[in-house]
Structure 1
Amino acid sequence: GQRLHDTNFDSELPKISPKAPLEIRQLADSLGGTVDELIASRAELARLNDSLQERVDSATRELRKSNQKLEYLAQSDHLTQLANRRYFEQVLASLDDRRQGDSQGICILLLDVDKFKDINDRHGHAAGDEVLIQIAGILRQGLRNTDLAARYAGDEFVVLLRAGLEIGRQRARDLRDAIDAHHFQFDGQTLHTTVSIGLAYCHSINACSDPDELLHQVDVAMYEAKRQGRNRVVEVEQGHSWA
């Protein structure tokens, strides 16, 4: 009995002599069948455990993908695939939360498509949508990975740059020039448009006491660019503009 207790089921059972009493041989046969069933059951249980783990791992991966997709959709503009206004304002607010000890400057650019209503009226809203999509592509190509571009309203885009004023000015000029030079293709037609850009700068995040006020200032600067004739950049603090 002790020998049987110490025997691993993966090993063979003790050999029973053919001369052993019939009851012993019958018991050994029955026990052997039971052990075989236990071994088979244990193998099946291991297989089921592996299968269950694979299903759990697969479900976890799918859940992670779904969560990432939901997060992306919550942060993105469905038309241009840029960030949306809500996400942009969250990022700007988070910069404000980290103001303590942060001396890096920031620039905000607000771009408004010039005479966008004329494009919609003359060529249709699908053409207007295509213009917005292509402008979004120009923004992606013209900005760094550390910059954030978002669709702010219908035909308005906003850009957050963690950079000094000179870099902000150059980015604004480059984007204005790239859009002015771009041939917008739609339904076999070539369209042209420009943008008016407002630029606001803070020499450090510490100096930007109110992100909402900064957005208001850059909005005023953008409308000043419109007033001065469109297709230009107007800077908030100095009131400079570049045609």
Structure 2
Amino acid sequence: MLDSLRTHVGALWQLRLDRRTMLRQAYRRVELEAARASADLAATSDALTGLGNRRMFDRRINAVTAGGSLLLIDVDHFKEINDRYSHGVGDRVLGEIAAVLRSHCRHDEVAIRFGGDEFALFLATGEKEARQVAERIRRVIQARDWNTIMPGLTVTLSMGLAACRPGEPGRNLYDRADAHLYVAKRSGRNQLAAA
């Protein structure tokens, strides 16, 4: 009977050790998955603004479907802001714009710092509602008291908007939004251009 009891205790002890090993492995998998998610987020985030970066843009542009819109945004005369006030002031301007863009995104929409002073906003709406969102953003930026950052500072945005057509490749959508952005710039800046 004693041998049977020893065998049973040994089996229970081994079972306990096996469970501890399985728990450690499960915790390690969770840690690795969290680290992977964190690395993926860092790889697709802009360090200055916290928005998505060009890598995220490249992922999203090919996932846009009909019913969605792409808004491209350019800070008017941004080089002059950097040259006149400093790159630090320019960075603060970009951060403020990023906050405004983020606040105008719904859960399924993405704001991106495309590069330099260029931003993109993937909107889950058609052209009419996307125009309204764009105009709200433009007005918020124009109306903001930029003197709190630097006396005499003014900031405006030029924007190009394109709504995705059925079956349209992302590259074509981008080209149309970009063409509209340049229309806004050539037409005096501080405005939205869309077709």
TM-score, scaled to structure 1: 0.71
Partner of 1:182: 144
In structure 2, C-alpha distance between the alignment counterparts of 1:57 and 1:184, rounded to whole Å: 51
- Residue 50 of structure 1 deviates from its aligned partner by 2.7
1:78 is aligned to 2:39: no
In structure 1, C-alpha distance between the alignment counterparts of 2:13 and 2:146, rounded to whole Å: 63
Q: Which of 67, 73, 76 is the equivalent residue of 1:105?
A: 67
Would you say the 8 A contact 1:176–1:195 is kept in 2? Answer: yes
1:168/1:223 CA distance change after superposition, 3 Å: same
Q: Deviations over 1:2-29 (max 9, x none)?
A: xxxxxxxxxxx3xxxxxxxxxxxxxxxx
For structure 2, list consecutive stretches of 5 or more residues without a partner in the other structure: none
- Residue 162 of structure 1 deviates from its aligned partner by 2.6
Q: How does 1:156-171 map to 2 (within 5 A)?
A: 156-171=118-133
In structure 1, C-alpha distance between the alignment counterparts of 2:166 and 2:94, rounded to whole Å: 30
Would you say the 8 A contact 2:158–2:185 is kept in 1? Answer: yes
| Letter of the 2:175 counterpart | H
TM-score, scaled to structure 2: 0.86
| Letter of the 1:87 counterpart | M
CA RMSD across the alignment: 2.3
1:153 is aligned to 2:112: no
In structure 1, C-alpha distance between the alignment counterparts of 2:92 and 2:19, rounded to whole Å: 50
Structure 1 outlier segments of 4+, above 6 Å: none
Partner of 1:90: 59
Q: Which of 208, 216, 226 is the equivalent residue of 2:175?
A: 216
Partner of 1:69: 38
Would you say the 8 A contact 2:61–2:171 is kept in 1? Answer: no
SS, match of residue 159 in structure 1: strand
Q: Deviations over 1:66-122 (max 9, x none)?
A: 1111221232222222122232232221336xxxxxxx4332211000111122122
For structure 1, list consecutive stretches of 5 or more residues without a partner in the other structure: 1-12, 14-31, 97-103, 238-243
Question: Paired residues, what number?
Answer: 194
SS, match of residue 79 in structure 1: coil
